[in-house]
């Protein structure tokens, strides 16, 4: 059986040891080397030719960002950032530079708590054979976001989407950013986003999207009423649902239950959108491993709403969209520019714009 060859990069010898032990607990992974800083990492990348890298961001001499830039230019392979929570904002910079995902260390300092990341880290490394890394490289080669359309196309009659929901996991942040940057400025439908991401990071993700897109983006709060042209990010570690209370669409944010596989969970969000909006919604299931979003998409489809699955051509990991398609719930299968076009076509617009 062919193993995934991984290089572990971390300036802590203890962390290198624990991360290596976690990875080698799987018979499908081989740790081919360990590096203590950026310069050592580049030397060992050239020597061992790894197929994947786990990368610490904060290191002496040459930090993780410099390594990422070098890797993407000279030896492009999937990189999973293993970062301390104190480096939270840095994670998004790493994703911009080409990292495919990240795992949060429980502590900034060397600690036995690091073993707590075992399940998440293994899942992300083991997903690498199904990852389409060329999609990441193509995104890095793009220098500017697509311009918003000059005119808003006619919506689809009675299926006009009063609410739009987007679900994503690995590879999702850049795709969501691209979608929001491509939306027409007249778009009035609120947008609910379920991106698999830990607590704290979802708030920072919202702030980042707002700054980059110029749209009103915030982390969702329990009980707040949906506002036109706003984007709401599901909080990490909690469950976001849409509720109808006294005729007003409001957000419900609940604590994670022991049986929940994901928090936030796309199935919970999409099913609630189907229940509240019926046929007057559009949901898009983007890149990500696993099947979260499948059951929720089926609920939307059965309620008469529109379901969009990202195509294999643009998905970093064609897991979540594939499951929606296999379930027969996808009304449209398209790449990210196509998702933008469909949202622009189905969504409600402010008066005075478009046809």
User: Is 196 among the residues known to form the active site?
Assistant: yes
Bridge partner list, 309: 285, 333
Which residue is it, tokens 């607590």? 199
Contact 242/249 with Cβ under 8 angstroms?
yes
| Active-site entry in 196, 268, 280, 301 | 196
Q: How far apart are CA 171 and CA 158, in angstroms?
A: 33
Give the neighbor-by-neighbor strand order of the sheet with 191-195: 216-219, 230-233, 191-195, 163-168, 281-285, 306-310, 332-334
| Active-site entry in 292, 297, 314, 332 | 292
CA distances from 343 to 38, 142, 158, 224, 225 (A): 42, 22, 15, 23, 21
User: Is 292 among the residues known to form the active site?
Assistant: yes
Q: Which residues contact 146 (CB under 8 A, 6 or more apart)?
A: 178, 181, 182, 337, 340
| Active-site entry in 127, 169, 297, 311 | 169
**Tokens coding 289:** 């491993």
Residues annotated as catalytic (active site), given as ranges: 169, 196, 292
């Amino acid at each position: 059986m062919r193993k995934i060859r991984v290089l572990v990069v971390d300036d802590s010898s203890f962390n290198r040891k624990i991360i290596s032990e976690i990875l080698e607990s799987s018979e499908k992974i081989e740790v081919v080397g360990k590096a203590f800083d950026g310069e050592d990492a580049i030397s060992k990348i050239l020597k061992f030719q790894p197929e994947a890298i786990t990368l610490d961001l904060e290191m002496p001499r040459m930090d993780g960002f410099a390594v990422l830039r070098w890797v993407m230019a000279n030896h492009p392979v999937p990189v999973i950032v293993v970062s301390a929570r104190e480096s939270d904002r840095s994670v998004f910079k790493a994703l911009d530079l080409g990292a495919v995902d990240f795992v949060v260390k429980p502590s900034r300092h060397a600690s036995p708590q690091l073993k707590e990341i075992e399940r998440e880290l293994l899942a992300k490394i083991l997903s690498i054979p199904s990852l389409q890394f060329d999609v990441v490289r193509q995104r890095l080669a793009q220098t500017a976001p697509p311009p918003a359309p000059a005119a808003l196309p006619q919506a689809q009659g009675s299926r006009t989407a009063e609410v739009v929901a987007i679900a994503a996991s690995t590879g999702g942040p850049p795709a969501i950013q691209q979608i929001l940057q491509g939306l027409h400025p007249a778009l009035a439908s609120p947008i609910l986003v379920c991106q698999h991401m830990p607590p704290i990071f979802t708030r920072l993700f919202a702030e980042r999207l707002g700054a980059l897109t110029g749209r009103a983006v915030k982390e969702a709060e329990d009980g707040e009423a949906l506002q036109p042209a706003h984007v709401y990010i599901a909080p990490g570690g909690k469950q976001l649902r849409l509720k109808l209370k006294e005729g007003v669409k409001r957000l419900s944010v609940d604590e994670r239950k022991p049986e929940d596989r994901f928090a936030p969970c796309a199935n919970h969000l999409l099913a609630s959108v189907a229940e509240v909006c019926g046929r007057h919604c559009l949901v898009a299931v983007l890149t990500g491993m696993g099947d979260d979003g499948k059951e929720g998409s089926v609920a939307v489809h059965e309620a008469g709403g529109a379901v969009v699955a990202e195509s294999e051509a643009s998905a970093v990991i064609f897991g979540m969209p594939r499951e929606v398609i296999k379930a027969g719930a996808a009304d449209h299968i398209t790449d990210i520019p196509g998702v933008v076009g469909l949202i622009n076509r189905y969504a409600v617009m402010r008066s005075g714009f478009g046809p």
